[in-house]
Amino acid sequence: MTTPADLVIHPRDERFGRNDKLARWWLAGDPVATAFYNALSVTFPKGEGFFIDSVRRFRDGAPPRLAGEIAAFTRQEVAHTREHVAFNRRVTDAGYDIRPLERRVDERLAFAASKPPIASLAATMALEHFTAILAHALLADPRHLAGAEPAAAAMWRWHAVEEIEHKGVAYDTWLHATRGWTRIARWTLKARVMLLVTRNFLVDRSLGAAELLRQDGLTGARIWARLAWFALGKPGMMRCVLGAWAAFFLPGFHPWNEDDRALLANYSEPAALTA
Ligand SMILES: [Fe+2]
Ligand SMILES: [Fe+2]
């Protein structure tokens, strides 16, 4: 399977919740669930800027179809960045200091910048797979966002829809950039990078969520256990994506081996929630 020939990557220029104050615990009044998503959101503005730069560095010489997809991917990620900046401002207005989390993102990106561009593309390709499988889980099971503030839920669903739509772009760019490599050289780099970014993702998001919970006055073993249960038990986002994560290492992997466009079919533009 490769990227479906009839796939359309459709940037939707939406805005969410600009005029409303966000409740401190906007996800079902649950500090742990809120911290999980807030910690993720903090990574997006700079993280997605890094994805855009990493992919665009390899667009010269790309076949016309891939070049068009890179352009659409860029437009989607630019809008995501803008909306997560706005969302993170609402998180800050709700009383959180997100700067310790941002510093962590800066450190990771500084490390990536010290490596060759192909390593940044590999990291982007791995993280885009990660993002796409989280997006799939989010859209497949409404329990993940049950009880969320409506504009926040709409923003996360919009982002998830577009992540699924463009999930093959970084991968196809990687295939194009490494077309002269042997299969084993490709696999070795992509597997090493996936293991590294997964470890960093799990460590950084856990510490980030724990920091936000500390600002709520919630610390200690019980809170760590609640966070682990939220991620791995119920609703268990990280448990849900385990199989799809492992598929990345199989020979013949491509993000579109799983065609999950059915999840997008029910999506309607949340114009009523935009401001
Ligand atoms: Fe995005
Ligand atoms: Fe993306």
> What is the spatial distance between Cα 84 and Cα 75, in angstroms, rounded to a whole number?
14
For 135, how many CA atoms within 13 A lie in the half-sphere containing its CB? 25
Which ranges constitute the DSSP H helices of 57-149?
64-93, 99-113, 117-140
**Interval between CA 8 and ligand 2 midpoint (Å):** 15
Q: Which residues, in sequence order, are CB contacts of 272 under 8 Å at separation 6+?
A: none
Q: Which of 43, 110, 103 is nearest to 77 (CA)?
A: 43
Give residue 1's pLDDT band: very low, low, confident or very high (50, 70, 90): confident
Starting from the CA of residue 76, give the closest ligand.
1
**Interval between CA 163 and ligand 1 midpoint (Å):** 6
Ion ligand 2 — residues with CB under 5 Å?
Answer: 163
Q: Which residues, in sequence order, are CB contacts of 199 under 8 Å at separation 6+?
A: none
| pLDDT at position 272 over 90 | no
What is the percentage of the chain residues whose pLDDT exceeds 70?
Answer: 97
Q: 57 to each of 51, 75, 91, 113, how far by Cα in Å?
A: 10, 16, 33, 13
For 212, how many CA atoms within 13 A lie in the half-sphere containing its CB? 31
Ion ligand 1 — residues with CB under 5 Å?
Answer: 77, 80
Q: How far apart are the first and last CA of the chain?
A: 40
| pLDDT at position 194 over 80 | yes
pLDDT tens digits, one per residue of 207-232: 999 999 999 999 999 999 999 999 99
**Interval between CA 48 and ligand 1 midpoint (Å):** 6
| pLDDT at position 118 over 50 | yes
Evaluate whether 129 touches 136 at the Cβ level (below 8 Å). no
| pLDDT at position 123 over 50 | yes
Residue 248 main-chain phi, psi, to 5 deg: -55, -30
Evaluate whether 171 touches 125 at the Cβ level (below 8 Å). yes
pLDDT tens digits, one per residue of 128-174: 999 999 999 999 999 999 999 999 999 999 999 999 999 999 999 99
Q: What is the mean pLDDT of residues 106-114?
A: 96
Q: What pLDDT was estimated at residue 275?
A: 43
Q: What pLDDT was estimated at residue 267?
A: 82
> What is the spatial distance between Cα 3 and Cα 114, in angstroms, rounded to a whole number?
31
Q: What is the mean pLDDT of residues 109-118?
A: 96
Instruction: Find the largest Cα–Cα distance for the chain.
Output: 54
Mean pLDDT of the chain: 95
> What is the spatial distance between Cα 106 and Cα 207, in angstroms, rounded to a whole number?
15
**Interval between CA 182 and ligand 1 midpoint (Å):** 30
Amino acid at position 174, single letter:
W
For 217, how many CA atoms within 13 A lie in the half-sphere containing its CB? 1
For 77, how many CA atoms within 13 A lie in the half-sphere containing its CB? 27
Give residue 81's pLDDT band: very low, low, confident or very high (50, 70, 90): very high
